[in-house]
Structure 1
Amino acid sequence: MIPLRMDAVDLGYDGGPVVRGLDLDVKPGEVLAIAGASGCGKSTVLRALAGLLPPRAGTILADGVPVRGPSPDRALVFQDDALLPWRTARRNVELPLAIRGTSRAERRARADDWLARVGLAGQERRLPGQLSGGMRQRVQLARTLAGSPRVVLMDEPFGALDAQTRAAMQRLLVGVLATTPATVVFVTHDVDEAVLLGDRVAVLAPDGVCELVDVPYPREMGLRDAPEVAAARGRVLSALS
């Protein structure tokens, strides 16, 4: 787990700026949820933290070192599971390990271990087309964490799932994060999800973070309706409006 920092960062594409003057600190080992209106730049911020989009101005640091490109230490999880359809669940999880040169025996053992940890023991030989949407997201999560990244960047990974599957994936992620030493930045448009998963919620606007809310009892499923959590949810909703 490592800290992340963005100082006076401007981000954009050929069409113009998307985010201006962003200052953001992510503490080592915390889960920072980022919420905001559509088009405010949430996914753009993740791409920049991943090293896929250089800033137009300002500095992005990971563990005190400038981010100048992608790194296996920083893994990105997409809303689209991005699995290779011709590879089995096991071989999809093995892929980043194979790219790193991990031995066949070790990558198979790690893939099977992570598939079991996300509830897919016995599904190792299935192709993505034979799996449900929730199961494919579990494979993507296993593939991400099998490489032991120090930072996990999650871009609305449950946004395309139905409500029941989404709730199941949230419970799964809570359990996985409890045993995974990584710094997590989780983008979502769902305020309840942000308040459930995040230690803090950063409400993003085009001119930077407009509110940073500390969340009591993060990832405590049984305390979602506690008055303190409701107050934090109210602060996020107020900032969004």
Structure 2
Amino acid sequence: MTLLLDAVTLAYRDRPVLEGVDLEIRTGEILVIAGASGCGKSTLLRALAGLLPVTSGRLLDRGEPVRGPSADRALMFQDDALLPWRSARRNVELPLAIRGMPRAERTSRADEWLARVGLAGLELRLPRDLSGGQRQRVQLARVLAGGPRAVLMDEPFGALDPQTRREMQRLLVEVWNAETTVVFVTHDVEEALTLGDRVAVLGGGGLADLVEIPLPRTSADPSLRARVLTALGAPALETT
């Protein structure tokens, strides 16, 4: 177990958003957090990242209270947040440089990860010279190059066109390894069922359902899809 929420209540501007959430996040799993807009998905992710304190209950990382951000819990957003004056390589190198990694080692690791996400040969390009999907690949390489134990992803592919989004979903599964826990936020049912080992559905101010997704990741069982949609309580969220 990497992260544990024990009767956690979270608030935004003193207004409770989630109450009494109990959830064990397993080491090495891809846990998808799904739900309608405003249900608390991003609030929960911010708490896991150490950016938002719990109002009540316990939020533990390997048995210790989460009291703030940690390099072991890396964040990836919908906005790629790349520095426009740094090349793809130097963007990936940045967190490694902050940690004090020697230049030759961090350059080698940055190039290795850029190659793993399909950007070999584009190491020296600036963000303005990359497509939206390529910039998200750089962000994914930057997040994973640091070797975090948990990657927290807040709808990272939401702004991409459908084809690029599917490519990024496949890429995430390909480069993810069983030593890294992924918590992935989405409001898209198909994305949740495509990526998740489990899908935690938020609704009604808490955890509405926790759905196990069998492996291998193939076309989702219609009954699982129906279960997630029922937990969401809003068939209008269904996507094609």
- TM-score of the aligned structures, taking structure 2 as reference length: 0.94
8 Å contact from structure 1 (residues 204, 210) kept in 2 = yes
What's the RMSD between the two structures over aligned residues? 1.2
Partners of 2:194 and 2:139 lie apart in 1 by 21
The SS at the match of 1:32 is: strand
The SS at the match of 1:9 is: strand
8 Å contact from structure 1 (residues 20, 206) kept in 2 = no
8 Å contact from structure 2 (residues 28, 178) kept in 1 = no
8 Å contact from structure 1 (residues 22, 207) kept in 2 = no
8 Å contact from structure 1 (residues 32, 200) kept in 2 = yes
* Deviation >2 Å, runs of 4+: none
Partners of 1:186 and 1:233 lie apart in 2 by 17
Is 1:3 the counterpart of 2:19? The answer is no
Is 1:117 the counterpart of 2:141? The answer is no
Deviation, 1:102, is 0.3
Partners of 1:120 and 1:86 lie apart in 2 by 18
Equivalent residues in 2 for 1:1-241, closer than 5 Å: 3-14=2-13, 16-177=15-176, 179=177, 181-218=179-216, 220=217, 223-224=218-219, 229-241=221-233
8 Å contact from structure 2 (residues 203, 231) kept in 1 = no
Q: Which runs of 5+ in 2 are unaligned?
A: 234-240
Aligned to 2:238: none
Amino acid at match of 2:232: L
Deviation, 1:206, is 4.5
Deviation, 1:217, is 2.1
> Once the two structures are aligned, what percentage of the paired residues are identical?
68
Deviation, 1:207, is 2.4
Partners of 1:172 and 1:84 lie apart in 2 by 23
Partners of 1:60 and 1:4 lie apart in 2 by 7
The SS at the match of 1:20 is: strand
Measured against aligned partners, the alpha-carbon deviations of 1:136-164 in whole angstroms (never above 9, x if no partner) come to 00000000000000001111110000001
8 Å contact from structure 2 (residues 48, 66) kept in 1 = yes
Deviation, 1:17, is 1.9
For these two proteins, the number of residue pairs brought into alignment is: 233
- TM-score of the aligned structures, taking structure 1 as reference length: 0.94
Partners of 1:78 and 1:191 lie apart in 2 by 19
